[in-house]
Each structure stands twice: as C-alpha cells, then as structure tokens.
Amino acid sequence: MSCTTQKMRASITCQIIPPKILPPPASNQSPPARRPQPPQAISISTTTIPIPGIWTPEREHTDDAAAAFSDYQFLFVSQRSEAGAAVMLRAVDGEVPADFPRGTYYLAGPGMFKDDHGSTVHPLDGHGYLRAFAFGGGAEESGRVGFMARYIRTEAQEEEHDPVSGSWRFTHRGPFSVLKGGRKVGNTKVMKNVANTSVMQWGSRLLCLWEGGDPYEIEPRSLDTIGKFEVSGSLESPDGPVATAYAGSGSGIWDAAAGAVKPILYGVFKMPPKRMLSHYKVDPKRNRLLTVSCNAEDMLLPRCNFTFHEYDRDFKMVHKQEYTIPDHLMIHDWAFTDTHYIIFGNRIKVDPLGSLSAVSGLSPMISALTVDPSKHTSPVYLLPRFPGDPDRCQGAKRDWSVPIEVPSQLWLIHFGNAFETLDEENGTVEIKFQAAVCSYDWFNFQQLFGIKFSLFPYYPFFFGSLMIDDAIDSTGYNWQSGRLDPSVMNVEEEDSKLLPHLIQASIHLDADGNCTKCGIEPLSSWRKSSDFPAINPAFSGNRNRYVYAGTSSGSRQMLPHFPFDSVVKLDISGNSARRWSTSRRKFIGEPIFVPREASGRGREDDGYILVVEYAVSVQRCYLVILDAQRIGEVDAVVARFEVPKHLNFPMGFHGFWAGEDMGI
C-alpha cells in the first residue's frame, strides 16, 4: 500500500496501488479437459478503502466496492467485552408476542480473531464466544429479552488470554491459520479446540461443540465454563450390544498406515483419537440425542470410521453403532431417518506439497487436503441404525458398504431434514433428504470466508524484491494482512449455480434394500444462493412441508450472493418461496424456528423465526423475531431488539432454542 498505518489513522481513506507480482511457477500438469474454468469472482478492487471504525451518515446507504470491503470486515471484528450478567435489550420495533414461549436462544460462534502481537486467525479458528438471549425468565420479566455473552474457557483460551491485563497472544495456529507472531516452523500446537461451531442443550447439560474434539460444558444460567465433557458412557438399552462393521478389502494395509500416523497425530500434534462432529441430531420420536464421531487419522487415509451414539434425556447412552467405510471423505453434517444414518460423501484427497508446507508450519494444516473431483457422482452411504434386526431396519438387508451414487457432483454443506416412507404392501422404501450443497468447482478449503493464502510469503526466493507485505495486503486475506476478501465468496452471475443452493434427493429401495431409483432436484422454485436450512424441530426425521434458510436477495451490486441478507420460507409441497429481507447494508445469520406450542406438533409453520441481523454500516446487532406464517408479507417482523453497541458481536455460526420445558 502507498500509505503507512500512521497515515491511515490520519485520514478516512488511503490509496491502494495495484501490486506488480510475478505469477507463480507454472504447473507441469494440465487440468483435465472435462473440468470447466474456475468461477470468476466479482472484483471489489477499489482505490479507496474506508478504515474500520470510521463511519459517516452519508455512507450508510452506499453500495460500492469500498463499502462492500468495509462491511465484510465488520462481520468478523473481535469482541473483547463480555456480559456476565443479563443486559435487558431495548425493543426498537414491536414487542415479544404474548404466545412466545419462555426459553433461551443460544448462539455459538467465534469472537476473537486478532491478538495483541500481530497475528490474525481464520474465522473457523476464532475463540468460541457464546451468546444467550433469554425470553421471560420470570413473571416480572415477561415480554423482555435479556442478553449475556461469555467466552468459552477452553484450554487454548486460557493459555492465550491474560485475564488480568485482558491481552491476547495466539500460540495455537489452528487448522485454518498461520500465526504472524511467534514460532511458525515446528509449531505443533495445531488442534486449537475453540468450541465455536455449534451449541446444544440436552437434559440439564449445555454443550458448545467444535469439529475436532470434545465439547465443553457450560453452566446455562451464568455461562460459566464447567470443562470438557466426554460424550460417552456405558450401553444401557434393549437395543443390544455395540456392533462394529467393516467394509472393503485391504483393511490390514490401512490398519498399518493408521498405526504409523497415530503417534504423530496423537503425540506430536496432540490430536484427540476421536473427533466429535459439531452437528448433532434430535430424534423426537424416540426422544433421543444422536451424535457421530470420526477418527483423527481419517483425514489422511482413504477410509472413514464413524461411531454413532444415541442418548436418552438423562444422557445415558442407549445405542451405539460403528462403521468403517473404504472412502476418503470429509463430513461436516449428516442426517438420520427412522432406520438409517445418512452420510453424504464429500470426496477429498491428500495434497503432497500442501502437506509438506502444512507440517512445516508455512501454511495452514488444511493445506494438506484438497477436494477430489475425479468422479462425476456423489456417494450416499445409508447406514442401518439397527443392522441386527432386518425386520426393524430395511437397510440391514442391503450391502451398506456400497454407496448409492447421486448423479451429480456436489459438496454437501448442511442438511435440513431427512425422512423415509415405507410401502408396507410391497416392502419398498423411499428416502428423501433436503440439504444445502455447492459445486466442487466453487468449494475451496483455502478460500472459505474469503481467504487467499498466498504462496508468496513462503517462497521469497521465487520473487526476490517484489515480495512486499503491502502487495500481499491488496490480494486478499492472509496471515500477514488479516483481511478477508468478499470477492472470493461472490462470483459472476453466470457462475452462481455453483454456489450453495438447496436441493432434495430421493432414493428408492426395493424389498431387499437395493436402490432402484435415485434422483436430485431443486428444493423449490427458489434459485438464489442459500444455506443454513432449518425446519420445525418437532418434524426432524419426519416428512416436512416447510424449510427456512438464509439466502440473498441479490439486490446488492458488490455482494450479490454472500453474506446473506434474507430469510426464505420454502413450501415444498406447493413449490413456492416467500422471502423477508433486511434493509441495505444489513446481513443475517442462521435462522432458528421456535414453535408456539411446547410440543411443536401443531401446524408445522405455527411459530417464529429468530435471526440475528448485523447492521454493519452502523456497527449494531439486532435480534429479530419473525412470524413464520407471515414471511413474505410487510408485517412479518414481530419485534427487533438492539444489542448495546459495546457488546456488538461478530457473525455467529449455529444456534439452539432451549425451551423452558427442556430443563433450563
């Protein structure tokens, strides 16, 4: 850049000189002819960039490149303040309706991205910051909303944060980050359990989850961290003993390979042997919590080990099932039906050069992996929940180790729901699932949330004196600049079909469990980029009519696809969509459905949608209550509550509604 930090502080804008950087060395391998050209990102290069923290009224409604860049940065600004005691929120629109149930909306997400020593981490590596919105904690609080927010006191958080001075020094680089300060080469502090991805309440326990380790238990009322919680236990159920099933040949070879890498992963890099996925499921029919764990070595080997657990309301394990699948997959979310677990396989492979760079500390650990687009189809594994009982589980009659290949190459991000329908007359089963998916041509580990990890800082001998920090700063986010590039998440209109969108898959099984038909189609007429599908939780695992999701209106020129600015309600049976949108320069997170009735089994859309609105232009957060039945109408907003500016928080990931009947 042509101005120093001191100059930037003295003025509202600064000039950016386009960098003159030599291209990286050409690869000797040409891409397969069948692969299309990568999607082209919408450029947001601009000659003026507003300094974060500077806002003027005349820019509040601006839709230009500078505003787009600035707004995106504000979505991931660190929040150092906590609210250990409830702060009553001010209603700026409407009020809590009389029939809104009592309970607490918990929202998990990162809160700290930049330390006091020059290091910035990827949003996925940001320390967990739990937000809680409490509705009607007592008769005197009826109609009011109390807000609390606390950091999860994980082992990494306690090491990296000094509670006396309030300062932060990152020592764990995390799977997606490289530290600017501290030791990079040989830094084996990788698995930074930040408990920032999702939150759930089951029985009397409140847990914050992360993708790579044990969840942390939180005291529900104070949000104090109790400590790690091992989600395991002895089997106490008529479901029978634990069953382990293996598939494929050559297991001895991969057992030997696993034995070779385990000491490195477990010993050197301190990875836990089992990593519990951050996405869990609740089976309302059996009143059970369902979780799944994978082995740490699965990330490096062409096989996956899945351990499914089911718990009753007292957190006693009542069912356990283990499967080993001969495929190299990355799983973030999964689904279940009455008789099946559903794994949609996102195919990956090891990147040898990336692995060397990652292990040496020169690039994030995720650089060791890349997507594997070698096949045109996507594997779906239908794993029987009760394989020892063919009469109880249709899937027990088929070879579950052979995936059903969906005739599309898709990367699944999040499931919305799954269910099955049994034709008792002829014994056939139809399984359907709804999900948010994207194309392999768009998904890239290195560019999640707008990251561009350049090779330039790591190989200056290729580029000599041209290797300067200011040039790198203007090319996107990297560990030195700490900036996110929103153009990575937004592509040209002709490539928008590659972005996250909502689909429904249908799989037909005959009486012997063999697949006779498999198809995939758009979930509805809605075609805009969408993710975070949600339903009325009482219908989880059952046929549902409505799906709610975060989506984009497409009205913003520079950020047409992401971040989302709308909630869409899809009527699957009617193939229709209705939408509520925020105003200009405001974005939203994940929508959550809250039933009016405690059971939730009244009319499916009889309830409310909770969603956080991020007004980045004025640096405010609002909790918005929408009437689920009136989405698409002018009076959809029931109430909007403002979070005090000093507690304004960055974008969250996943939330959970804990009704008063759930023990809190």
Could you read off the pLDDT of 579-638 as tens digits, one per residue? 999 988 899 999 999 999 766 667 999 999 999 999 998 899 999 999 999 999 999 999
414 carries a ligand binding annotation: yes
Half-sphere exposure of 537 (CA within 13 A, CB side): 25
579 three-class SS: strand
- 382-395 residue pLDDT tens: 999 988 766 666 55
pLDDT at 104: 96
Categorise residue 9: left if φ over 0, alpha if ψ from -120 to 50, beta otherwise.
alpha
Tokens found for residue 222: 């104070």
- Please name the helix (run of DSSP H) or strand (run of DSSP E) that holds residue 473, with its range, or none: helix 469-473
Which residues lie below 8 Å from residue 156, measured CB to CB, with a gap of 6+? 127, 171, 172, 192, 193, 194
Mean pLDDT of the chain: 82
Q: Mean pLDDT lowest for which of 170-174, 298-302, 448-452, 556-560? A: 448-452
pTM for the whole thing? 0.86
The per-residue pLDDT for range 204-220, each reduced to its tens digit, is 999 999 988 899 999 99
Report whether pLDDT(30) > 60: no
Q: Which residue has the tokens 């090891």?
A: 350
| Residue 664, pLDDT score | 36
Classified as helix, coil or strand, 574 is coil
Q: Is the backbone peptide bond immediately before 563 cis, with ω within 30 degrees of 0?
A: yes
Going by the DSSP 8-state scheme, the letter that residue 100 receives in this structure is P
For 50, other C-beta atoms within 10 Å of its C-beta total: 20
Residue-level pLDDT at 282: 97
Residue 167, pLDDT > 80, answer yes
Got the DSSP string for 3-31? S-HHHHHHSS----PPP--PPPPPPSSPP
Q: How would you list the strands of the sheet with 566-571, edge to edge?
A: 530-534, 546-551, 566-571, 576-581
pLDDT score, position 139:
41
Report the Cα 380 to chain-centroid distance in Å.
20
The answer to whether 513 and 396 have CB atoms below 8 angstroms apart is: yes
Is residue 57 scored above 80 in pLDDT?
A: no
For residue 469, give the 3-state DSSP assignment.
helix
Share of the chain above pLDDT 70, in %: 78
DSSP three-state, residue 660: helix
Q: What is the pLDDT of residue 6?
A: 43
pLDDT classification of 539: cutoffs 50, 70, 90:
very high
